[in-house]
Amino acid sequence: MWEIAKKDLLQFRKDKKALFLSFILPIILISLFAAIYGGVDGKVKSKPQKLLVADLDNTTLSAEIIDELKKEPAIKIKMVGFKEGKKSVIDGNRSALMCFYTGFADSINSGKTAPMELFYDEAKSMEIGLMQKALMSTIMSFVGQKGGKAHVKSFINQKYGEELPEDIIEEINSDIDAEFSDGGGTTSFSSDLKTTALSIKEGIRWGVIQAVAGILVMMLLFNMAGMGNSILQEKEKGTLKRLLFSPISPSAFLYGKMLSALISALIQIVILLLFSYFVFGLDLFHNPLGLFLMIFGTAFACTGFGTLIASLGSSRKQVESISTIVIIIMSAIGGSMIPLFLMPAFLQKLAMSSLNYWSIQGFYDVFGRDPAWSSFLIKPLVLFGFGIISSLLAGTYFRKRILKEYL
């Protein structure tokens, strides 16, 4: 019994792949997910939410509230024009726009409801929910203080202005100022913050879009890696050698493989989207051209990726290990597994290096947002670029590694 155990342990020690999968991969994944949840020794700082601010009132008071917002560590302010800011939110480039309308200061000074509005990307409503907490706290405190003071003064003036001497009124006003200046003036006065979701229509199921886009890309990557693996299967079986003896060129073989993978990927995407249409009511027809570009771009990028991964490995088992690791990591940082806003700042930036990110964002655009074409096209273009580069690299590695023993 001990001899068998000893032999197995020896085999395990000699199997570098098994060692890697058993020890190194879990370490990588634990580190990655710890970083995602912001738990690496408290060193990962949470990223401040970016908030666009349009100041249409342009008064001292509106400047004061903006200064207060700038002090809030959870929010990072960027001043914009109203139209520009709204477009950025609609295009999905920014999450929210806080607008202080004309009359903001006058309303506060006269103790009326202040005209202000928060526009946000409905696709990021969870993210906005977190931002709103910090935003409301600052705004309500400011409005409560300024508006409450004005409201009390206005009341005193109206009720006792004619009865009491002017010096008494002034004394009362200075007492009110003192009361509100030491932070104790948080009265029951408050002003409503109007919030408006910017989306193409009512009732969009963002959760469904996130699930469909995220899982679709991740599963497609796994399938394409499997398809790419068939190149190595052909090599191991000897059919590749036989094909190379025929009048077919190595490039024709490789691109033939990629074509079959692309067709398979397109069919897979269409079936998954049709399922989502019939079962979850996903609107496939809002932007047909955009959807076509996204389907084709995603399929092409995933196919290129699968072929590239296959060209890098020297055996099928090796490719299976590499592709599993790369896909899990790419899906984790690209937003397939966890919404991006939950991740720390550096991972959100890193997400842009994964094709999951561009695909998910593109599907958000065609299903839920209504961005300008210039803003949308970057997503399928990046995917096509990813596909072209990985296909070219796959071609190079295919010759260098897979055909090495023949050429």
Partner 1 sequence: MIEIRDISKSYGDIPALKSLSLNIKKGEFYSLLGPNGAGKTTTINLLGGLMHPDSGEIIINGINLKSQAKEVKSQIGIVPQEIALYDELTAIENLYFWAKVNRVSTKGLNAKIEEILDFLGLANRAKQKISQYSGGMKRRINIAAALLHNPAILFFDEPTVGIDPQSRSFIYSIFKQLSQQGKTILYTSHYLEEAEKLSDRIGIIDYGKLITEGTFEELRKQSGLKETINISFQKIDKDVFSELKKSSLMKNSLVSGGSLDTHKCVFIVENRSENLHQIVELFAKHKVKIQQIEIKAVDLEKVYLSFTKNDLRD
245 binds partner 1 (CB under 8 A): yes
Distance in Å, CB of 245 to partner 1, minimum:
4
Instruction: Count Cβ atoms below 10 Å from residue 273 Cβ, excluding itself.
Output: 20
Question: Which residue among 164, 244, 337, 338 contacts partner 1 (CB under 8 A)?
Answer: 244
Name, in order, each residue with C-beta under 8 angstroms of 231's C-beta and a sequence gap of 6 or more. 240, 254, 257, 307, 310, 311, 398, 402
Token pair, residue 388, equals 């072209």
- Pick the closer one to partner 1 by CB: 48 or 250: 250
Q: Could you give the angle at the alpha carbon of 213 between the alpha carbons of 351 and 33, nearest 5°?
A: 40
**Which of 22, 46, 186, 239 is in the footprint of partner 1 by CB under 8 A?**
239
- Spatial contact of 21 and 68, defined as CB atoms under 8 Å apart: no
Three-state helix/strand/coil letters over 55-94: ECCCCHHHHHHHHHHHHCCCEEEEECCHHHHHHHHHCCCC
Give the x/- contact pattern for partner 1 in 182-221, rule: CB under 8 A: ----------------------------------------
Among residues 247, 278, 285, 374, the one that binds partner 1 under rule CB under 8 A = 247
Stretch that binds partner 1, among 101-109, 217-225, 242-250, 345-353 (CB under 8 A): 242-250
Question: How far apart are the C-alpha atoms of 337 and 330, rounded to whole Å?
Answer: 10
Pairing of strands 96-100, 75-79: unpaired
Question: Can residue 18 be called a binding residue for partner 1 (CB under 8 A)?
Answer: no
Q: Which is nearer to partner 1, 35 or 240 (CB)?
A: 240
Q: Does 160 bind partner 1 (CB under 8 A)?
A: no
Q: How far is the CB of 235 from partner 1 (least distance, A)?
A: 10
Q: By the 8 A CB rule, do 282 and 269 touch?
A: no
Q: Which is nearer to partner 1, 314 or 353 (CB)?
A: 314
Establish if 400 lies at the interface with partner 1 (CB under 8 A). Answer: no
Q: Which is nearer to partner 1, 243 or 329 (CB)?
A: 243
Cβ neighbours of 236 (radius 10 Å): 11
The 10 Å Cβ neighbour count of residue 294 is 27
Candidates 49-57, 199-207, 235-243, 384-392; binding stretch for partner 1 (CB under 8 A): 235-243
* Burial annotation 300-339 (CB, 10 A radius, 16+ → b, else e): bbbbbbbbbbbbbbeebeebbbbbebbbbbbbbbbbbebb
Q: Which residues of 253-267 are buried (b: 16+ CB within 10 A; e: fewer)?
A: bbbebbeebbebbbe
User: 26 or 256, CB closer to partner 1?
Assistant: 256
- The piece of 165-173, 182-190, 221-229, 239-247 that touches partner 1 (CB under 8 A) is 239-247
241: contact with partner 1 by CB under 8 A: yes
Among 45, 242, 349, 400, binds partner 1 (CB under 8 A): 242
Q: Please identify which residue in 60, 158, 188, 246 interacts with partner 1, judged by CB under 8 A.
A: 246
Q: Which of residues 337-356 bind partner 1 (CB under 8 A)?
A: none
From 118-126, 165-173, 199-207, 234-242, give the range in contact with partner 1 by CB under 8 A.
Answer: 234-242
Q: Residue 263 and residue 269: Cα distance in Å, rounded?
A: 10
Helix H or strand E segment including 49: strand 49-55
Output the smallest distance, CB 299 to partner 1, in A.
23
Q: Is 406 among the residues that bind partner 1 (CB under 8 A)?
A: yes
The structure tokens listed for 255 are: 């691109």
Least distance between partner 1 and beta carbon 196 (Å) = 56
182 or 405: CB nearest partner 1 = 405
Q: Which CB, 126 or 252, lies closer to partner 1? A: 252
| Residue 248 binding partner 1, by CB under 8 A | yes
Buried (b) or exposed (e) across 75-86, using 16+ Cβ within 10 A?
A: bebeebebeebb
Tokens linked to 181 = 């200046």
Residue 73 binds to partner 1 (criterion: CB under 8 A): no
Interface contacts to partner 1, rule CB under 8 A: 237-239, 241-248, 405-407
